[in-house]
Structure formats: C-alpha cells, structure tokens
Amino acid sequence: MTERAELVAAARDTIARGSQSFAAASRLFAPATREKAWLLYAWCRAADDMTDGQDLGQGGGSVHDPLAAQAQLQTLTDLALDCDAPVPLPFAALRQVARETAMPRAFIADHLAGFALDAADWRPRSEDDLLRYCYHVAGSVGCMMAVVMGVAPDDADTLDRACDLGLAFQLANIARDVVPDAKVGRCYLPMAWLERFGLREADLAAPQHRAAVAEMAARLVRMAQPYRLSARIGAARLAPRSRLAVLAADGIYGAIGEKVRDAGTAAWDERVRVSGMGKLVLLGQAIVRGLSDPPASPRNGLWQRPA
C-alpha cells in the first residue's frame, strides 16, 4: 500500500502542474486541511482527464471510447473505496482522503455522474437542467471540500451552502468559456435560451452573434449571485483559515464572472483572467469580509441538491 506521505507528495505535484490558482489558494488552508484538499484534487483531476482524454487538463480533448473510459473510472473508484487492492495514485489518494474524513459515498457518486453526462455529450434543456449539471461537476466537489474542511457529513444546511458555492463557480466558468466550448462542440447553455434568440449551438462561436452570447453570459453571472451570498453563510461556520480560503475563492470566481459580464461582446477576445495584483486585492477583501458575520441569506428559491 502506498504510504500517505508519498500520496501527498504526488497530489501536491499534480495540483502544482494542473491548477496554479488552486495550488495558490490551497496555501491558505491549515496544513492538515491542505493535504486532504490536495488528495481530493488529485482524484478529481484524474477523473476529468480520463473523461476528456487530457493530461492535467492539457492536450487531447477527445476520448476514442468515452463510455469505456467512464466504466474504467467507475471501476477504479469502486476499487479504491471498497478494498485495499492496488490502484493508480489518484485513486489511492481518494481512498486516503475518504477514509480520513468519512466522506459520504453519495458525493463521490454524484461527481462521477457529472463526468458521465459529459461523456454522453449531454445538453441542458432548462435552467434546472443546467443547475443539476453544475451540481454534479462542481457543487458535489463543494460538498466534498466542506467535509475535508471539517463540516460534519450530516450538517445539511452547511453542505447546501458549500454546494451553492460550487454552483456559482461553475456558472462563472460556463460564462467565461461559452465561445471556446462552442468551438470544440460543447454547449452548457440551456437549449431554451438558444431558442429564444433563434440560435443553434454552432452559432455561439460566430462573431455576428456575440451580442446574444453576451446577454446569455450576463444571465449566468446574475444567476450565480444568490448562490455566492448563500455560500458566505456557510463559510462563516468554518475554521478561520478555511473561511479565508473559501472567501478568497469566491472573490476570484466572482471577479471572473463580473469581468465577463462587464466586457460584453469583447469578453471572448481573450481568456478572462484575474491578475496577480487583482488576486491580492481580492484576498484583502476576503480577510475583511471574514472578520464579521455575513448578512442573513435564506436559501428560499435556490436550487436544492439531492438529499
């Protein structure tokens, strides 16, 4: 069996190469939480790469047999969780963090369901479909990260709010990547939205339709806002360093969405990013925000994750 220190070192290398932003944000966690976050990330990254035919999110972009890839992903995940049989490092990392945190199996299964949707080339028809997809690919990760940060697996309200942050993150990602996704045959905008503008998926990449695309992207950013406010309630219940990490991430992803919204039709001329200086400013704002309790934000009317 792979030693924990070896797993942590491999996971740290994975996050350093796979996501500089997440690697930087993870430094805000207390050491024990940071290591668990790295372990979880290693599995999430591997699952994503197996689905997309990539290596650390780079290259590839297609899988010859996506259904076979999903079957392998499910098999390796089950082996990691159900026994001590040797598995690749990312799955051993999942085994380790799942055992250390008593991670609910349902969150892991729900995240795998998101990869299955992508493998099946699924499309959302409605806003509810879109939010369900966002839950599987990001909200479930928010729930798993909450458990990593010490939230009890039966603390339903705090987990709901962790899910809300994942939904907000994914809505910002979709807004930023509408055009790049369209260029590789992907679309996460509800079909009902496209029909309102008389558009097809292929039209989303065409410059002459940027006004309509910008309007739909702005709608995604508006949708994210109540979920961000809800998530801040949950963040206030975390240990100080975890709270800071969550609020900083909220600020960064929120800024990405706002940049897309404010840029209008120019939002896809180049990839929207938050500069290093911008991240420092947002970190300062997160520190200030974390010093006081957020205003009450009931979850009335927000999408509800599966029980």
The CATH number of the domain where 298 resides is what? Answer: 1.10.600.10
Looking at residue 119, its pLDDT comes to: 87
Q: What total number of domains does the chain contain?
A: 2
Looking at residue 171, its pLDDT comes to: 98
**In the predicted model, what is the mean pLDDT of the chain?**
92
Looking at residue 295, its pLDDT comes to: 86
Residue 195, C-beta contacts closer than 8 angstroms, at least 6 positions apart: none
Which of the pair, 14 or 212, is modelled with greater confidence? 212
68 and 166 inside one domain: no
pTM for this predicted structure: 0.92
Looking at residue 2, its pLDDT comes to: 65
What is the pLDDT averaged over residues 189-201?
Answer: 96
168 and 275 inside one domain: yes
5 and 34 inside one domain: yes
Indicate whether 162 pLDDT > 80.
yes
Location of structure tokens 């976050």: 37
Looking at residue 55, its pLDDT comes to: 62
Please identify, among 101, 129, 150, the residue that sits at the C-terminal boundary of a domain: 101
Instruction: Compute the distance between CA of residue 37 and CA of residue 7 in angstroms, rounded to an integer.
Output: 12
162 and 202 inside one domain: yes
54 and 120 inside one domain: no
Indicate whether 58 pLDDT > 60.
no
Q: Which domain holds residue 41?
A: 1-101
Can you say how many angstroms the Cα of residue 144 is from the centroid of all Cα atoms in its chain? 11
Q: What is the pLDDT of residues 90-124, one digit of tens each?
A: 999 999 999 999 999 999 999 999 999 998 889 99
Residue 70, C-beta contacts closer than 8 angstroms, at least 6 positions apart: 50, 51, 112, 115, 116, 119
Looking at residue 17, its pLDDT comes to: 82
Task: Assess contact for 159 and 170: CB atoms under 8 A.
Answer: no
User: How confident is residue 65, by pLDDT bands cut at 50, 70 and 90?
Assistant: confident
85 and 156 inside one domain: no
138 and 252 inside one domain: yes
28 and 124 inside one domain: no
Secondary structure (H, E, C), 181-225: HHHCCCCCCCHHHHHHCCCCHHHHHCHHHHHHHHHHHHHHHHHHH
Please identify, among 71, 101, 131, the residue that sits at the C-terminal boundary of a domain: 101
Q: Which of 114-118, 155-159, 165-169 has the lowest mean pLDDT?
A: 114-118
Q: What is the pLDDT of residues 130-141, one digit of tens each?
A: 999 999 999 999
CB burial string 253-288: b at 16+ within 10 A, e below: bbbbbbbbbeeeeebbeeebebeeeebeebbeebee
278 and 154 inside one domain: yes
Please identify, among 49, 67, 101, the residue that sits at the C-terminal boundary of a domain: 101
Q: Is residue 62 left, alpha or beta, with left meaning phi > 0 and alpha meaning psi from -120 to 50?
A: beta
Picking from 194, 197, 195, the residue whose alpha carbon sits closest to that of residue 178 is 194
Q: Which of 173-182, 217-226, 293-302 has the lowest mean pLDDT?
A: 293-302
Q: What is the pLDDT of residues 13-38, one digit of tens each?
A: 988 887 777 777 788 999 999 999 99
